[in-house]
Structure 1
Amino acid sequence: MNRKIRILGTMLGGMLIVASLAVPIALAQKQLKSQKNFRVVTDGTFYRSGQMTLLGIKRMVHDHGFKTVVTLRDSYVAGEPSPDLEEETWCRAQEIQYLRLTPMAWEPIHQGDEPPVAANIRKYLGVLNKPESYPILVHCFAGIHRTGAYTALYRMEKEGWPLNRAIDEMRLLGYDRIDEEKDILGFLKAYKPGSLSLKAPMP
């Protein structure tokens, strides 16, 4: 009898341990989803992430006081609502500046022309150059590729980082195929901080 009690006690203890581990794991997974790839770039100034849930963005606004949100997402179908419309609606209701930069090509259509994305970069620089824009959050869907490129531009433009250091940070934070994406890499290599002459070479 005592042996059975000990066995049952051991099993019950094991179940309690599993249950106690499952709760924090579930909470961590929920937080990871709600605050997708959220990272502090420069504390109090610039932040980056993937597409957070509405609850996640509310929490981050509460914690960090964003005055501007830059989204690099848009609808893939003309006339359809953007995938982060709920976020935009909430931010505007809170009087948070909301800038949508529709994804555009990073390489010129014709030799010698500016790449289409240059129009976005000018709008982006317009935000970065205004002190009242900060703190700023920049995000795309995953918070790795487009967000990584725009963060690199911020690093070079506002913090004086050299290109190689900005590219290394992109790789470190998950953009492991940047060397294969010649359009974005070419644009960043051609980019000169402080200049509005934004031209990238044809690959």
Structure 2
Amino acid sequence: MDKAARAAATAGAAMKVLEAADVARIEHLLVECSKEANRIVNEREYGEGKIPDDKECMRVVGYNKNGDPIRRQAELGTMKHEVAFACVRREVLRLFPENVSIEPRYSGDAKSGGPALTNQWTGSKKPDVVLHATNQPLQIQCIFDLKFPCTGNSKAEPFTSGDTRRQMSRYEDLGGKCKPAIITPQLGVVRE
């Protein structure tokens, strides 16, 4: 094999995308991490086998800098994300360290028309978990966002929130081979 052919083969190997079986395995692990985080935080906050009811989910626990109420469901969601991300690092990144990114921040790239990594918060998109070509976070394969619905209605219908629909639509703009999905402890992988 000549030098150019070896270089092309090496470049092809470096750009490897995950096989369908690997994506399915990662989806399974993400669901398990979601369930684990939900259980651990609920038990820590409410006791073994207990979950918050709708009234508790909607309870105001503080106010943001704009004076808008912060509800218990948002506070619980933040705690559950922390536990879930620790699980994703332990279970998913251990197996696929070069093909998975946790909370990368993307913006649009005017030159290429595709996504670009950024540190800017304003106008950027920050999915929870992104599967991508080996060491190529701009070559997106699949996008997942962890959701921890709290109220009975949101557990049964996680896309009832217009915010979730808009968020998934914005993630779809980043491209990828799969339609962006949410992961919930109750329903697993959900695509609209």
- TM bucket normalised to smaller: under 0.3
Flag the structure with higher helix content.
Answer: 1
TM-score normalised over the length of structure 2: 0.27
TM-score normalised over the length of structure 1: 0.26
